[in-house]
Structure 1
Amino acid sequence: MQSLTLGAPPALPAVLGRGALLSPFKRGVPTGAVVPGTRLVLPGVRVDSGRLAAYERVCGFGTGPDQALPVTYPHVLGFPLAMRLMAARDFPLPLLGLVHTSIEIDQRRGLGPAEEYELTVYVDGFAPHRRGTEAIVATELRVAGEVVWESRSRYLARHRTAAGTLPRDRSAVPARKPPPAVAEWTLGGDVGRRYGAASGDRNPIHLHPLTARLFGFPRAIAHGMWTVARCLAQHGVPQAARVRAEFRAPVLLPGTVTYAAEGAAFELRGGGDGPGEERIHLIGEVVQTEAETGAGA
């Protein structure tokens, strides 16, 4: 895989505009499609304290100069690079309509807000899905050449598949006991705009009911990465941990959701389609691992 070193983060408006223009010409992964062979590297990354504080406030994390970076914040740092890869001509899925379905994070130690980092982002492959095709995007954060944080995100492009014409085999989904409710959160209609300003992710489905309706949503929806960050701020994350989260259903804004947790497991629930029904928006878990030594640990 070829590495391309960048001198600055990609400009998101230009990247997203390019992705939107190319999207109509992309219709899924053809048989034998080659994974894009570019690995984007951004050295000398420093955290902007103002943007970090805004992110911490909107997601519910503690603030202050002695606080380690939230476990989800490196995703924000790598987001412009991931968008550049997925907006490129050699990425076979349309950027418009991609749905973030899951994220797995391995944080090796606490991350200091004053440290200098190197980001690496690349497409790690494609996977079939009953509703289309998922792209697996890897993000790595290094300090002095050592990986201190890495993630794997899956993004779904919906298209017709043979499996997609069949109903879900619910017998294949293991039964689980839902964790007990811990807190109820009332979410304002501005959550998507506030998170978008702090993270740089200004997807129109998150910003306003009118723009969300263009994509089939009755109201604006919360960012998936906001929902997992808000849950993890409540749950607490050790300095060294593995985090897994699956995004099940969008959270409409404004609205009310219930955070539930027990042991390593957590989830976010909301009102369902019928009286007394609940919809699961997010499920996840946090598992403590052995911390590595180094600055910020």
Structure 2
Amino acid sequence: MADHCSMRRMHTRTLAASPALAPLLACGALASPFKRPRPGGMLKTPPTRLVLPGVRIDLAKLAAYERVCGYGVGADALPVTYPHVLGFPLAMRLMSARTFPLPLLGLVHTAVEIVQRDALPATGEYELHAYIEGLAPHRRGTEATLVTEARAGGSLVWESRSTYLARHRTEQTGQTEAPRKKAHAGPPSGEVRKPTPLPAIAEWRLGGDLGRRYGAASGDRNPIHLHPLTARLFGFRRPIAHGMWTVARCLAEHGVPEAAHIKAEFRAPVLLPGTVTYAAKGGAFELRGGGERVHVAGEVRPPA
């Protein structure tokens, strides 16, 4: 959580409507070449909190999202990942702004943490908040933590923390990591025990158009997800699935109680088309590819 002093210094800006994503993507892309963090340089966290009041759910858009993610269509409550979609334009507004010190192009979504305190009615009215909680050095660059909140009747009912990594040179670049100490107890002869894979539950064949279908339902039309040609501009031979689609699809299969605390790490991109395996045990879940490669690892547990 951000400290109270920093919250008092935060400037709140209330929006009249949800920002359009396409212009934000374009502006962020154009500004990216001019944002080059230096190794050891100090980066300032933008002090802006965006607020969007009076948000009502477009039930047709919600149904399209539910279909592409595997949720049941027409439920009375929102899927646990849907407030992320509602708040994504606010997040993009923050990350494409000149005051955000990291380049939007190449920014990698590495993890998400969601806390839902109760079921969110699909017919409810919400107030969305978004702000950058902080910037932190990472061995491969800089991480930004972006907070999105949904409030109803003045109460916080849903919140998420998304971690994004901007890769760039750091003071650690080129340094040799110190050798790790051997554990006092472990397998003989230096063997490394691999964690036991979670039991496989289902296999999903993902079409090459999945990124376009999810982009149409969510509004996130990042070119890395849409076509092979645009994905190659970012170093991928094929488009990749949206990280938030992968976690939403897993949670749709897993099932989430009305109140829940969810954590998920995006460990490797899912190339499209492709085949993945959903695995789960207890509150833990995984999305795996060929060779037991883990794409997403997460857990669902009761909120604290």
- Which of 109, 120, 123 is the aligned partner of 2:129? 120
The aligned counterpart of 1:281 is 295
The aligned counterpart of 1:177 is 196
The aligned counterpart of 1:91 is 100
The aligned counterpart of 1:42 is 52
How far the C-alpha of 1:130 sits from its partner, in A, is: 1.6
- Which of 86, 89, 105 is the aligned partner of 1:77? 86
Q: Does 1:103 align with 2:112?
A: yes
- Which of 151, 160, 167 is the aligned partner of 2:160? 151
Following the alignment from structure 1 to structure 2, what is the Cα–Cα distance between the partners of residues 204 and 128? 27
Q: Is the 8 A contact 1:126 1:136 kept in 2?
A: yes
Who wins on radius of gyration, i.e. which is larger?
2
Following the alignment from structure 2 to structure 1, what is the Cα–Cα distance between the partners of residues 249 and 99? 34
Residue 237 of structure 2: SS of its match in structure 1?
A: coil
Following the alignment from structure 2 to structure 1, what is the Cα–Cα distance between the partners of residues 174 and 258? 43
Question: Which runs of 5 or more residues in structure 2 are unaligned?
Answer: 1-9, 182-191
* Residue range with higher mean Cα deviation, 176-185 or 204-213: 176-185
Residue 226 of structure 1: SS of its match in structure 2?
A: helix
Give the partner amino acid of 2:100.
F
Give the partner amino acid of 2:202.
A
How far the C-alpha of 1:34 sits from its partner, in A, is: 1.8
1:129-278 aligned within 5 A = 129-165=138-174, 176-271=195-290, 277-278=291-292
Following the alignment from structure 1 to structure 2, what is the Cα–Cα distance between the partners of residues 76 and 193? 15
The aligned counterpart of 1:274 is none
CA deviations on 1:205-241 (whole Å, 9 max, x unpaired) are 1001111011110101000000000000000000000
Residue 110 of structure 1: SS of its match in structure 2?
A: coil
Give the partner amino acid of 1:288.
P
Provide the TM-score with structure 1 as the length reference. Answer: 0.91
Q: Is the 8 A contact 1:132 1:164 kept in 2?
A: no
CA deviations on 1:264-290 (whole Å, 9 max, x unpaired) are 10000002xxxxx32110000000237
Following the alignment from structure 1 to structure 2, what is the Cα–Cα distance between the partners of residues 168 and 54? 47
Provide the TM-score with structure 2 as the length reference. Answer: 0.89
Root mean square deviation of aligned Cα = 1.9
Q: Is the 8 A contact 1:28 1:157 kept in 2?
A: no
Following the alignment from structure 1 to structure 2, what is the Cα–Cα distance between the partners of residues 136 and 174? 32
Structure-2 change in CA distance of 1:167 and 1:238 (3 Å): farther
Following the alignment from structure 2 to structure 1, what is the Cα–Cα distance between the partners of residues 165 and 177? 17
Residue 23 of structure 1: SS of its match in structure 2?
A: helix
User: Percent sequence identity over matched residues?
Assistant: 69
Following the alignment from structure 1 to structure 2, what is the Cα–Cα distance between the partners of residues 232 and 176? 22
CA deviations on 1:143-195 (whole Å, 9 max, x unpaired) are 01100000000011010123343578896999633211111000001110000
Give the partner amino acid of 2:45.
V
CA deviations on 1:69-116 (whole Å, 9 max, x unpaired) are 010000000000000000000100001110100000000000000000
Following the alignment from structure 1 to structure 2, what is the Cα–Cα distance between the partners of residues 166 and 152? 31
Following the alignment from structure 1 to structure 2, what is the Cα–Cα distance between the partners of residues 108 and 168? 42
Following the alignment from structure 1 to structure 2, what is the Cα–Cα distance between the partners of residues 207 and 281? 19
* Residue range with higher mean Cα deviation, 102-111 or 277-286: 277-286
Residue 123 of structure 1: SS of its match in structure 2?
A: strand
The aligned counterpart of 1:294 is none
Residue 142 of structure 1: SS of its match in structure 2?
A: strand
Q: Does 1:32 align with 2:46?
A: no
- Which of 38, 46, 62 is the aligned partner of 1:52? 62
How far the C-alpha of 1:67 sits from its partner, in A, is: 3.0
How far the C-alpha of 1:244 sits from its partner, in A, is: 0.3
Following the alignment from structure 1 to structure 2, what is the Cα–Cα distance between the partners of residues 60 and 139? 23
Following the alignment from structure 1 to structure 2, what is the Cα–Cα distance between the partners of residues 169 and 228? 34
Give the partner amino acid of 1:15.
L
The aligned counterpart of 1:4 is 13
